[in-house]
C-alpha cells in the first residue's frame, strides 16, 4: 500500500506491504453543502431559544464569543448567514483564547475571514491572566471557582459561535467550552482541568465525565436567557456539514450527535493493532501540546506493548511546555504520575496521560522537535515516517499497522468496548 499523508503542508507518502496493513481510518466526508444555507436553516429553527433577531432586539451591550485559531472557524460563514450579528451597532467580538496565546494578524484573519476589516475595531482578546479583566460569577458543585472575562459577565446578550468535535478529556469541544476554558481565568481552567485525572474524562464521553459536567456547571452561572449559541460541525474535508442554533445546551447536544457520526469511526471486527500511525492535520499539528490529542484519540486501537507513531510537524514547538518539563524531570514514567497526583499544575494532565501510556507501550514521533527533548519525555524521535515504520517492522515483521488520518479529531471506536457502542476505551 502507498499511504499518502499531509506533513508540514506537504503531501508525502510511505510504502507498506499490504499484509502489514490493518486499515486506514479517516473522518467521514459529507456531501458538499452551502455552509451559509446550513447555518441559515439552523437559525430558522433555534432549539430552546427565540430567533436570533428577536434575541438581539433591544440589546445594549451585546457580545459575540468566537474561538481562537487553534481549530477551523465557522465564524466567516456565520457572519455571512447572520448579518445582524456584525451589523448590530453595539456588537463586540471576544476571541476566547482560554490559556492559548493571543492570535496574531494571520490568526485573526483565519477567525474572521472576509469580515475582518468590518469588525476589526470591535475585537477583544481574552487574557486569562489579567485579573482586572475578570469577574467572579460563582462556584461549581465540583468546587471550581469561576472567574470569567468581565465583558462576558457584563454583556446583556451573548452570541456564542463554536465548532463541535471530539476532545480527549472533555468528550467534545464546543458549546459550554466557549466559557470554560474559553473566557475563564487561568486558575479556573487549572481547577477544571485537574478533573481530567479522574475516571470518566474521556474522548466522546459526556455522561459521567467530570470535566464536561464542571464546564456545564460553569456555563450555567450565566443566565440562559442571555445566551444564543450557533454550533457548527466540520467534516473530513474541513467543510461545515451541519449547524445547530438556539440555547447553549440544546444546540451543543444536537451538534454532538453529528460530530460523533463524523469523527467516531467504527472499527467493528478489527482487533487492536500492533502499530498505530496517527497523522495530525492542521491546525492541531502546530505544536506538541495540541498534537498530543491524537494519542488520546487513537490509543484505544493499539494493543498493549505496541508502537504508536505520532506524525505532526510541531512547527511552532512544544506549545505550553509545563507537561514537558514535568516529564523530563523524572527518569521513570511511574514517578511522573505520582508527582502530578500530589502537586497538579495546568497541563500536567498531559504528563500523566503520556507517562501512563509509556508504562505499557511505546510512543514514537515524527516531528521537527529536538530529538533530545523527545527522548527526555519517553518518546523515540524519527526524522520521517518511513524510517519509523521500517524500525517497527524490523522489531515485529508480522505486525499490522492501522493508519489514522486527522487523528487529532478522528476516534477509532471499538464497538465491543462499551455496551452502548458509543465510546472508545481510554
Cα angle 230, 99, 122; round to 5: 55
> Domain 35-263 - what CATH class?
alpha beta
**Other residues' Cβ atoms within 10 Å of the Cβ of residue 382:** 22
Portions of the chain given CATH number 3.40.50.11440: 35-263
Decide which of 3.10.129.10, 3.90.226.30, 3.40.190.10, 3.20.10.10 is the CATH code for 2-28+267-417: 3.90.226.30
Q: What confidence category does residue 415 fall into, taking pLDDT thresholds of 50, 70 and 90?
A: low
The whole-angstrom separation of Cα 123 and Cα 103 is: 11
The whole-angstrom separation of Cα 425 and Cα 417 is: 6
Q: Report H helices in 129-239.
A: 150-154, 186-194, 210-219
The whole-angstrom separation of Cα 265 and Cα 25 is: 7
The whole-angstrom separation of Cα 78 and Cα 243 is: 10
**Other residues' Cβ atoms within 10 Å of the Cβ of residue 76:** 18
Portions of the chain given CATH number 3.90.226.30: 2-28+267-417
Q: Average pLDDT over the chain, rounded to whole?
A: 93
- Which of 263, 316, 256 has its CA nearest to residue 291? 316
Strands (E), 41-100: 62-67, 92-96
Looking at residue 73, the DSSP 8-state letter turns out to be -
What is the grid cell recorded at 37?
444555507
pLDDT digits (tens, 9 = 90+) for 184-220: 999 999 999 999 999 999 999 999 999 999 999 999 9
Q: What is the pTM of this model?
A: 0.87
pLDDT digits (tens, 9 = 90+) for 36-58: 999 999 999 999 999 999 999 99
298 exposed, middle or buried (CB, 10 Å; 0-12, 13-18, 19+)? Answer: buried
Amino acid at each position: 500500500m502507498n499511504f499518502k499523508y499531509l506533513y508540514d503542508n506537504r503531501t508525502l507518502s510511505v510504502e507498506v506491504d499490504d499484509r502489514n496493513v490493518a486499515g486506514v481510518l479517516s473522518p467521514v466526508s459529507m456531501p458538499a453543502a452551502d455552509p451559509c444555507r446550513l447555518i441559515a436553516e439552523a437559525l430558522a429553527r433555534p432549539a430552546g431559544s427565540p430567533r436570533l433577531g428577536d434575541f438581539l432586539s433591544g440589546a445594549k451591550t451585546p457580545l459575540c464569543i468566537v474561538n481562537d485559531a487553534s481549530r477551523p472557524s465557522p465564524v466567516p460563514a456565520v457572519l455571512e448567514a447572520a448579518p445582524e450579528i456584525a451589523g448590530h451597532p453595539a456588537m463586540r467580538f471576544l476571541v476566547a483564547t482560554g490559556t492559548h496565546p493571543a492570535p496574531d494578524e494571520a490568526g485573526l484573519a483565519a477567525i474572521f475571514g472576509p469580515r475582518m476589516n468590518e469588525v476589526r475595531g470591535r475585537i477583544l482578546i481574552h487574557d486569562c491572566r489579567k485579573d482586572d479583566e475578570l469577574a467572579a460569577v460563582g462556584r461549581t458543585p465540583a468546587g471550581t471557582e469561576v472567574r470569567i472575562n468581565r465583558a462576558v459577565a457584563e454583556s446583556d446578550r451573548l452570541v456564542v459561535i463554536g465548532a463541535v468535535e471530539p476532545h480527549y478529556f472533555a468528550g467534545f469541544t464546543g458549546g459550554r467550552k466557549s466559557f470554560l476554558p474559553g473566557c475563564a481565568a487561568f486558575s479556573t481552567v487549572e481547577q477544571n482541568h485537574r478533573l481530567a485525572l479522574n475516571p470518566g474524562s474521556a474522548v466522546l464521553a459526556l455522561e459521567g465525565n467530570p470535566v464536561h459536567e464542571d464546564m456545564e456547571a460553569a456555563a450555567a452561572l450565566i443566565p440562559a436567557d442571555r445566551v444564543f449559541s450557533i454550533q457548527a460541525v466540520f467534516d473530513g474535508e474541513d467543510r461545515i456539514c451541519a449547524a445547530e442554533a438556539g440555547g447553549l445546551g440544546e444546540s451543543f447536544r444536537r451538534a454532538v450527535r453529528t460530530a460523533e457520526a463524523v469523527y467516531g469511526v467504527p472499527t467493528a471486527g478489527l482487533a487492536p493493532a500492533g502499530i498505530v500511525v496517527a497523522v495530525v492535520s492542521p491546525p492541531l499539528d502546530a505544536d506538541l501540546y495540541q498534537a498530543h490529542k491524537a494519542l488520546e484519540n487513537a490509543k484505544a486501537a493499539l494493543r498493549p506493548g505496541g508502537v504508536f507513531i505520532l506524525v505532526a510537524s510541531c512547527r511552532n514547538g512544544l506549545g505550553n511546555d509545563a507537561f514537558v518539563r514535568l516529564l523530563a524531570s523524572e527518569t521513570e514514567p511511574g514517578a511522573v504520575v505520582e508527582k502530578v497526583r500530589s502537586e497538579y499544575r495546568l497541563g500536567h494532565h498531559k504528563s500523566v496521560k503520556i507517562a501512563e501510556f509509556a508504562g505499557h507501550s511505546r510512543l514514537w514521533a515524527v516531528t521537527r522537535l529536538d530529538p533530545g527533548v523527545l527522548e527526555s519525555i519517553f518518546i523515540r524521535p524519527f526524522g520521517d515516517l518511513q524510517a519509523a515504520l521500517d524500525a517497527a517492522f524490523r522489531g515485529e515483521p508480522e505486525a499490522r499497522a492501522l493508519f489514522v488520518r486527522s487523528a487529532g479529531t478522528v476516534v477509532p471506536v471499538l464497538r465491543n468496548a462499551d455496551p452502548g457502542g458509543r465510546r472508545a476505551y481510554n
